[in-house]
Amino acid sequence: MEFDAVFVGAGHNALAAAVHMASKGWSVGVFERNDTAGGAVRTEEVTLPGFRHDLYATNLGMFGGSAFFQAHGEALQKHGLAFVPAENCFASPMPDGRWFGLSKDLETTVARASRLSPADGERWRAMVAQFGEDAPYLFGLLGSPMSWRAMAGLGLKAWRKKGTRWLLDTARLLASSPREFVEENFESPEIRAALATWGMHLDFAPDVAGGALFPYLESMADQSFGMVIGQGGADTIVKAMVARIEELGGTVRTGAEVTGITSSGGKATGITLTGGETVQAKRAVIAGVTPSALVRLTGGTTGEKRYDDGARKFRHAPGAMMVHLAMSDLPDWSADPELKEFLYVHLAPDLEMISRAYSEAKSGLLPKEPVLVVGQQTNVDPSRAPDGQHTLWIQVRMVPGEIKGDAAGEIAARDWADAAEPYADRVISILERYAPGTRDKILARYVESPADLERRNPNLVGGDSLGGSHHLSQNFLFRPVAGYANHKTPVKGLYLIGASTWPGGGTGAGSGFTLARTLAGH
C-alpha cells in the first residue's frame, strides 16, 4: 500500500488531520492497533446492555468550538455527528451543604455567586464581560502554530489592539498558579474551590505555576457557551470522522499495530505493521504517539541526540482512574436536589484538600481523599441508558501509576490488579458522603485503573490521560521538546501530533488540524 500521508494511531487528532488532508486531495491511510478508532475518545457498554459509557473523554466543548469543527463540521454532521448541550455545566458542593454552580444563564450564576459573596457576584459579571474582549486573542494563541514567528505576530496584533498593559496582564495570567488566580479574584472559598478544581483536569495543583489559564478559560467559556457532549456518546465524533475519511477515499484500518517507522536518507518513507507488512508514505508519516514511543518506532534514534534525550525524559502527569456505574437513578445530592441537573459535579471542597491529593499521588501514595469528577451525562442525554435509568462517569484525579503505599493506611496492595476494586470502594464511600443512598442505586460498575488505561492505550503512560505534564517547562515552546513545538522531528517528513504536543490535552483536535493545514493548506 502507498499513501501520501500515513498515520500511526487513530486518535481524534490523527482523524482530524486525515479529514482535512483528504479534503485537500491527499491520499491518507490511518493505522490503529486497537479494534476501534478514537484513542481516548471511546464509548462502550461496559456495565450492562443499553448503558453507554464514555470510557475516557466526555466533554466535547473544545471540539465543538474548534477551528477544525468550523471548517469541517457540516460534512461531519452529514455522517451523524450530533451534540447535546448542557445548560448547567459544573458545580461543587461542600460538606456543610453550601455549593456553587455555573449555569449558562449569567444571571443564575451571578445570583449563586452573590449568595456566597456579593462582591464575588459583581466580580463574576465583570470577568465575563472582560472575557468577551480577551477570548479572540487567548483562543488565537491556543489555535496557532507554536513558533517564535507566530507568537510575535499574535503579540503584535494584540499589542496594537489592547496595549502594553493587557499584554503584561495576560503574561502574568499565563504564569500564575490556580491559587493565585482564584484568591486574587474571589473571596468565597466555595468559588475558589470550584474554579481551582479545573486545574486538576490537567495536572495543576493549586500552587503549580502556569495553572491559572485553564480554570479561567473553562469557566468563562462554559459561562458564555455552555457545555456539549456527544449524542449517544463521545464516539459520535470518531464515527463521523472515520466515515468522512472513507468518503474521501482514505483508509482507516483497525487491528493494525505499527511496529516501526522506516526511513531512507534521513527522510521518513513509511511504516511496518505486525507481521512484517509495509506501507509506503510518499509525503509524510504522522505519528500520534508519545515522544518516547516515537523514538522507539524509529529504531531507537531519530538521528539527533538532543531530541532523543528530550523525548525519553518527557514527563508524564500522575495517573487517573475511571469508575463507571450503571444506575437506577442519579445521586440525591444532600447539598441541593438541583445538583442533579449539572453535567459535572466536582467533589473537591477546598484548595488544601486538592493540594494534598496531588502531593500524595505524586509521592506514589493512594490519596486518602482524591478529587472526584462526577459526570451525569444522562441528565442531558437520556439516550445513553434504558428509560428511567442512568450512567455515572467518575474520574478520579489524581492517583499514582505505581503504588508505593496508601495515605489512609487501609489498602495493603501495591499492584493495581489488587488495589483497583478496594480503591473504587473508597471512591464510592466519598460519593456516598455527598449523596447518601447512592450505593443502593448502583446496578453494575466497571473500574479501569491506571494500569488498565495504559493497556488499552499505550499513550496513557501510567494512567496519564493528559498526554504528559503541562507545567511551564513542558508547555508552549517546550512541548514536547524545545525547538520542536511545530510538530516536526529530526527526520524529514516525520511529524508528531497528539496531546503530547502543542496545544496539549483535550478534545480540540488542535495539534492534528494545525499540522494538516501546514502541510495541505488552509
Domain assignment present for 388 = yes
Percent of the chain with pLDDT over 90: 92
Residue 161: per-residue pLDDT: 85
Count of structural domains within the chain? 3
pLDDT digits (tens, 9 = 90+) for 272-329: 999 999 999 999 999 999 999 999 999 999 999 999 999 999 999 999 999 999 999 9
Question: Which class for 280: exposed (0-12), middle (13-18), buried (19 or more C-beta within 10 A)?
Answer: middle
243: domain CATH number is 3.50.50.60
Q: Give the Cβ contact number of residue 433 at 10 Å.
A: 12
Q: Are 118 and 415 in contact (CB under 8 A)?
A: no
Instruction: Using DSSP, state whether 344 is helix, strand or coil.
Output: strand
Domain identity same for 404 and 330: yes
Which residue has 435509568 as its cell numbers?
Answer: 389
Name the band, by pLDDT with cuts 50, 70 and 90, for residue 27: very high
pTM recorded for the entire structure: 0.96
Determine the pLDDT at residue 150: 85
Examine the domain organization and report whether 434 and 505 are in the same domain.
Answer: no
Instruction: Give the pLDDT confidence score for residue 231 in this predicted structure.
Output: 98
Task: Please give the residue that has the higher pLDDT: either 152 or 462.
Answer: 462
**Quick one: 186 and 274 in the same domain?**
no
> Where a domain ends, among 172, 194, 222?
222
Report the distance separating Cα 196 and Cα 191, nearest Å. Answer: 8
Q: What is the pLDDT of residue 74?
A: 98
Q: Please report whether residue 273 resides in a domain.
A: yes
CA distance 99 to 207: 23
DSSP letters of 250-312?
-EEESS--EEEEEEETTEEEEEEETTS-EEEEEEEEEE-S-HHHHHHHTTS--S-HHHHHHHH
Q: Which of 414, 435, 456 is the last residue of a domain?
A: 456
Per-residue pLDDT tens over the stretch 137-190: 888 888 888 888 888 888 888 888 889 988 888 999 999 999 999 999 999 999
Tell me, yes or no, whether 46 lies in a domain: no
Domain membership flag for residue 391: yes
> Do residue 346 and residue 443 come from a single domain?
yes
Identity of the amino acid at 247: E
Q: Which domain holds residue 334?
A: 318-456
Q: Which residue from 3, 16, 125, 117 is spatially nearest to 75, judged by alpha carbons?
A: 16
